[in-house]
Structure formats: structure tokens, C-alpha cells
Structure 1
Amino acid sequence: MHRLSAGAIGSAAASLVLGVLIGTLGTVLHRSIPPWGLVICLTLAFVAAVTVRAWTGYVALAGYAVGLAGTVLLLTQRGPGGDVLAPDGQAIGWLWVLGSIAVLVVAALLPRGPFDDRPRAPRTPTVEHELVDPAP
């Protein structure tokens, strides 16, 4: 387990800001060109989540998750004039809210191997074959 350093906290704070930005863009634009607006917004959220996890790990991913989920849940509430960016009567709004959370879960559950920067030992063959002339 990694120690919580100032760099990790700074990365988590930057990831939180990125999550707020992606959450705002996605909530505003997911209904732009159905269904492609939703597909693009979910893809953007997933790519950002994977990038953040590869960048620092789970600490930064937690910051990104708080920013994204918090912004999506905040912006889907009714505004002071009764306006709403993701109406609950339309499936595309629910797909955005639940899809953005699913994207975070998938990014957190990806295998560790692709994100590991440690050098690996060279592979050694398990069986060595020798070319030998057959006996006469």
C-alpha cells in the first residue's frame, strides 16, 4: 500500500477538479445528439478514469470519483426555476447517471497489470530444445 504523500494528495485534488469538469460536461451534453452524445460522454468519463488510475492509482481515482459522481448527482437536481438537466422521465438521463457510476466501478476493477510500472524480469524458457541428429 502506498503512503499518502503531498504529491498523492495533490494528484487527488487535481483529479477531483477533472471529475467536476467531466461531470459538468457530461451532464450538460449527454442529451445533445441521442444516443451519440451519451456514448461520447460515457467514453470520455471512462478514458479519464483509466488515465487517472494509471497516473497515481486509487487515491487519485477516489478524487475523480468524488468529483464526477458528486457533480452528476448535484446537477441532476431541480434548479431554482424548476429546470433540470437530466429529466427523470427520460431513459437517457438515467443512463447517464447510472452509466457514469458504472464507469467508475469498471475503472476501479480493471486488473493491476497494465497500470504497473515496475520492470519485469526477463522471461526464461521453461523447456530448452536441442537440435540433435537422430541415431542411425
Structure 2
Amino acid sequence: MPEHEFARMPSWAQAGTLAVVLLLGTVLGFIGTFFHQSLPPIGLIVALGTVGLFLAGLRSWASVRSPAATGALGVAGMSAILSLPVGGTVLVPANAVGLAWTFGVALIALVVIAWPDPARLSRLRAVTMEGPAEEKDSTAP
């Protein structure tokens, strides 16, 4: 069973990687929060698509869920911070596009984090299609 690169890292490197992923998620949440209201609905589709690709890439790169969860925390955290009204300005209004951005990020994060490990699924599929090695009869001609 091959391990992914993240699982082979020492713990200090894993912590550093998670810090970088959190920073990237925060930057993506910042950009997406500003961009989702531009050119509706194209801005929302591009922003949510970018979040989905970012989180799916992290999930497929690592055999564990922690990088994708950390990236989702960065995106959702920055989106939540920027949705607070500051000086009478609201960046995420309570319209359809704003609600789709708020709940879309959460839904994408939930689906990507809950998705099973693709490498593990392919190993399980190979075993069920060929059958376990112990069941094969070695005395058959």
C-alpha cells in the first residue's frame, strides 16, 4: 500500500504544510468573497469552482483529510470575517448570490472532506473484482 507524500512527512513538515494551506485558503476566501458578487452568476460560479478545485486537489494529494479541512477552514473563516458589516459596508449581502456563496463553500467543503480516499477505493475495487488471494485453488489444473 503506497503512502502519499503528506503521510511520509515528519510532523514539523506536516504542521508547516497545514499552515501554508491555511494561508492559501484564507487568500482564496478573501478573493472569492470580493469576486463572487461581480458579474452574477459568473463570478459566483468561478469563485465556487476555484474553491472546489482547491479543496479537491488537496484531498486527492493527501491520504488524510486534514489538508482539505484546513484549506476549507481558511476559506470559510475569511468569508465569515468579511461578511461582518464594517463601517456600513456589506461585502456579502443577503441576496441569492451572497447566500449561495456562504452555503456553497460549506457544501463543497462537506462533500470534499467526506469523500473517501480514491486510492483506497481502487484497492478495494481490485480485491472485490479479483477475489482474495487465499480463495484461489492451487491444486486445480
TM-score when normalising by structure 1: 0.77
Q: What are the within-5 Å matches in structure 2 for residues 45-124 of structure 1?
A: 45-56=51-62, 57-79=64-86, 81-88=87-94, 90-114=95-119
Q: In the TM superposition, what is the alpha-carbon distance from 1:111 to its structure 2 partner?
A: 2.5
Q: How many residues align?
A: 123
Q: What are the within-5 Å matches in structure 2 for residues 6-21 of structure 1?
A: 6-21=12-27
**Residues 61, 70 of structure 1: CA spacing in aligned structure 2 closer, same or farther, 3 A cutoff?**
same
Identity across the alignment (%): 31
Separation in structure 2 between the aligned mates of residue 115 and residue 15 of structure 1, nearest angstrom: 23
**Residues 2, 37 of structure 1: CA spacing in aligned structure 2 closer, same or farther, 3 A cutoff?**
same
Identify which range, 39-48 or 103-112, moves more after superposition: 103-112
Given residue 98 of structure 1, which amino acid in structure 2 is its aligned partner? F
Contact in 2 for aligned 1:54/1:115 (Cα 8 Å): no
Given residue 94 of structure 1, which amino acid in structure 2 is its aligned partner? L
- Greater helix share, structure number: 2
Q: Deviations over 1:74-119 (max 9, x none)?
A: 001101x21011112x111010000011110111122312588x8x
Please say which structure displays the higher CA radius of gyration. 1
CA RMSD, aligned part only?
3.0
TM-score when normalising by structure 2: 0.75
Partner of 2:35: 29
Contact in 1 for aligned 2:29/2:76 (Cα 8 Å): yes
Separation in structure 1 between the aligned mates of residue 37 and residue 54 of structure 2, nearest angstrom: 20
**Residues 115, 74 of structure 1: CA spacing in aligned structure 2 closer, same or farther, 3 A cutoff?**
farther
